[in-house]
């Protein structure tokens, strides 16, 4: 599975209300891991990190 598909899938799963906080940590780890291995570049890292931050803030507001 491509890193982009894996990260996007993990981030989209966070949209579901029954997703745990652990899923956020796993998504973050996935983003960092793909960046440190060179599978995604800095621009993509920033994009996915911003998406994760936005989603995390929305989840906290809803809670």
Do 51 and 11 contact (CB within 8 A), yes or no?
yes
**Domain spans of the chain?**
3-62
Q: What is the average per-residue pLDDT within 3-24?
A: 94
In this model, does residue 63 exceed pLDDT 80? no
As given in the structure block, the two tokens for residue 14 are 């966070």
Q: Is the pTM of this model over 0.75?
A: yes
pLDDT of res. 36: 98
Q: Which tokens go with 31?
A: 């983003």
The residue length of the chain stands at 63
């Amino acid at each position: 599975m491509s890193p982009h598909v894996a990260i996007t899938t993990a981030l989209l799963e966070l949209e579901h209300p029954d997703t745990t906080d652990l899923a956020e940590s796993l998504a973050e780890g996935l983003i960092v891991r793909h960046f440190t291995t060179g599978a995604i570049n800095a621009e993509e890292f920033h994009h996915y990190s911003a998406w994760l931050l936005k989603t995390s803030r929305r989840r906290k507001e809803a809670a």
